[in-house]
């Protein structure tokens, strides 16, 4: 099988590609624009594999997408290219509209044109897998409610609204044109190689540097945490075994308050990195509550029973085991982190406006 992955230099995309190359015999083409969060160093372990190819391109560049489809002739497209940081979407929503909505539309049209010309058997086997987020559902107000695949959409931020729009486009292209699509909506991902603007890597790196650990509001917002390697396994399962036109929610069964996540990281660092930065007695002393994000959703939680029941997938990691692996990875890979922070991973130094200490 040949799989085209968009956004494969991002956090989830790179985990997916590593999983595909390391555990299958598939050929993978990674099409990525390499925006600020795209990092080819995350793919260094498989970069020279003969079954892997990288093309730097924007999904909004129709001519290039058409050319890549014609040359690579994929059996499936796994669409992960997206702007995904809520704070950035509040500061500048235009990029989210362009990439997540217009870019997805362009990719759908390119895929439809390519798919329509395939021989009948290949057309029947082709899949367009759109990877989305649980944030399209808005938030949950009860303590026991869960997002299901039929939960009405109620996005709160420009980011989640743009992803909701892209989901609707994918479903429309299936119903109107018959494009064989699959959709999946995941909870908060964490793990190795995550860009350090997100809560968990930001907390780890700030703590090690003796910098404040910012927590929005009272820190009681609840998220369901999914280890990124578990997510990669789930995505492959959906692609191979999912039913065309269906949506699958992918969650980690690990609901945690933001403040508890930060405290857990501090506790792990006390054990794994006991030599504190100068002037710091305990990592938890660095916790700093800051003004809450506008429109901040209070609680996300996914009902992942459908993918377990129909496709046999369950997460392998608990939050405790996954978080320990994550903290240890950041301790073991200071060069990867340094290249992000000084901008050298892009071959240039990032300005203050491009890299900010923000919380996911």
303 catalytic per annotation:
no
Of 58, 134, 224, 255, the active-site residue reads: 134
Asked if residues 151 and 83 have their Cβ atoms less than 8 Å apart, the reply is no
CB 242 within 8 A of CB 149: no
Q: Which of 27, 32, 83, 135 is catalytic?
A: 135
Residues with Cβ within 8 Å of 109's Cβ and at least 6 positions away in sequence, in order, are: 62
Q: Which of 105, 114, 137, 159 is catalytic?
A: 159
- Check residue 298 and report its DSSP letter: -
CB 251, CB 305: distance < 8 Å: no
Give the position of tokens 């930001």: 202
Contacts of 288 (CB under 8 A, 6+ apart): 212, 213, 214, 215
Whole-number Å distance between alpha carbons of 66 and 329: 38
Is 53 tagged catalytic? no
Sequence-distant (6+) residues with CB within 8 A of 119 are: none
Contact 59, 95 (CB under 8 A): no
* Residue 36 appears among annotated catalytic residues: no
Looking at the annotation, which residues are catalytic?
Answer: 134-135, 159
């Amino acid at each position: 099988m040949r799989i085209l992955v968009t956004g494969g230099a991002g956090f989830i995309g790179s985990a997916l590609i590593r999983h595909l190359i390391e555990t299958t015999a598939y050929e993978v083409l990674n099409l990525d624009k390499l925006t600020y969060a795209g990092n080819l160093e995350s793919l260094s372990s498989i970069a020279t594999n003969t079954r892997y190819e990288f093309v730097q391109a924007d999904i909004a560049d129709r001519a290039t997408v058409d050319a890549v489809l014609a040359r690579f002739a994929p059996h499936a497209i796994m669409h992960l290219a997206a702007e995904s940081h809520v704070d950035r979407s509040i500061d500048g929503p235009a990029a989210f509209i362009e990439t997540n909505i217009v870019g997805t539309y362009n990719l759908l049209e390119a895929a439809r044109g390519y798919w329509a010309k395939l021989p009948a058997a290949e057309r029947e086997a082709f899949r367009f897998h759109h990877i989305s987020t649980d944030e399209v559902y808005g938030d949950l107000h009860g303590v026991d409610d869960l997002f299901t695949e039929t939960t009405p959409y109620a996005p709160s931020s420009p980011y989640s609204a743009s992803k909701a729009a892209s989901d609707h486009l994918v479903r429309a292209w299936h119903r109107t044109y018959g494009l064989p699509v699959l959709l999946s909506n995941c909870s908060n991902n964490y793990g190795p190689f995550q860009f350090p603007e997100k809560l968990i890597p930001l907390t780890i790196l700030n703590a090690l540097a003796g910098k404040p650990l910012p927590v929005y509001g009272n820190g009681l917002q609840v998220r369901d945490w999914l280890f990124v390697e578990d997510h990669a396994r789930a995505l492959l399962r959906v692609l191979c075994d999912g039913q065309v036109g269906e949506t699958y929610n992918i969650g980690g069964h690990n609901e945690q308050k933001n403040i508890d996540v930060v405290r857990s990281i501090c506790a792990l660092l006390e054990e794994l990195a006991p030599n504190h930065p100068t002037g710091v007695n305990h990592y938890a002393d660095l916790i700093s509550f800051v003004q809450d994000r506008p429109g901040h959703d209070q609680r996300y939680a996914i009902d992942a029973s459908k993918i377990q029941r129909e496709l046999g997938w369950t997460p392998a990691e608990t939050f405790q085991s996954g978080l320990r692996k994550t903290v240890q990875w950041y301790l073991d890979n200071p060069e990867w982190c340094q290249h992000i922070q000084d901008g050298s991973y892009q071959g240039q130094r990032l300005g203050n406006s491009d890299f900010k200490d923000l919380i996911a």
